Amino acid sequence: MLEAAAVLHDVGYSPDLAKTGFHPLDGARYLRDTVGGDPRVVGLVAHHSCAWMEAEARGLREELEAEFPRPPASLIDAVTYCDMNTTPDGTPTNPVDRVNEIAGRYGPDSLIGTFIRRAEPEILASTARVLERLAAAAR
Ligand SMILES: [Fe+2]
């Protein structure tokens, strides 16, 4: 399930299914309505990488939260970890560089640039929690 969510999390960027321009919502609606995807995977796509903060900036938070209940935080953390440790072309990276790359790509004053800086502390905390869980599991 996590692998599926990690692979599909940005499907909402596809021009063929983009409706609102907010990719977590567009992707989750596509997976729910067209594909009939597992609700757990759909929920993770809807809520990956602090999507609620970008939804708020776009005036879509209520819509997002009403349609897609938030999955357990540990699962959102896991998908966010994957997202933030991989560049858009699939190269491994780290969360600090990834946030900087996003802010640089969209521009610091853009909606995405502002969102990602606001989300940065939570993104770093989320990815740190995954590392803590991995370390605890290895003990
Ligand atoms: Fe995304």
Q: How confident is the model over 28-64, as pLDDT tens digits?
A: 999 999 999 999 999 999 999 999 999 999 999 999 9
**Ligand 1 centroid, distance to 139 Cα (angstroms):** 32
**Ligand 1 centroid, distance to 64 Cα (angstroms):** 14
**Ligand 1 centroid, distance to 69 Cα (angstroms):** 18
**Ligand 1 centroid, distance to 80 Cα (angstroms):** 9
Structure tokens at 115: 């969102």
Residues 45, 5 contacting (CB under 8 angstroms) = yes
Q: How far is CA 90 from CA 82, 85, 87, 93, 96, in A?
A: 10, 9, 5, 9, 16
**Ligand 1 centroid, distance to 84 Cα (angstroms):** 9
Total tally of structural domains belonging to the chain: 1
Domain that holds residue 43: 2-138
**Ligand 1 centroid, distance to 23 Cα (angstroms):** 7
SS3 state at 117: helix
Share of the chain above pLDDT 70, in %: 100
pLDDT, tens digit, 9 for 90 and up, residues 2-18: 999 999 999 999 999 99
Structure tokens at 103: 């802010």
pLDDT of res. 106 = 96
Mean predicted confidence (pLDDT) in 78-98: 97
Amino acid at 95: P
Ion ligand 1: residues, CB < 5 A:
10
Please give the span between the terminal C-alpha atoms of the chain, in angstroms, as a whole number: 25
**Ligand 1 centroid, distance to 138 Cα (angstroms):** 29
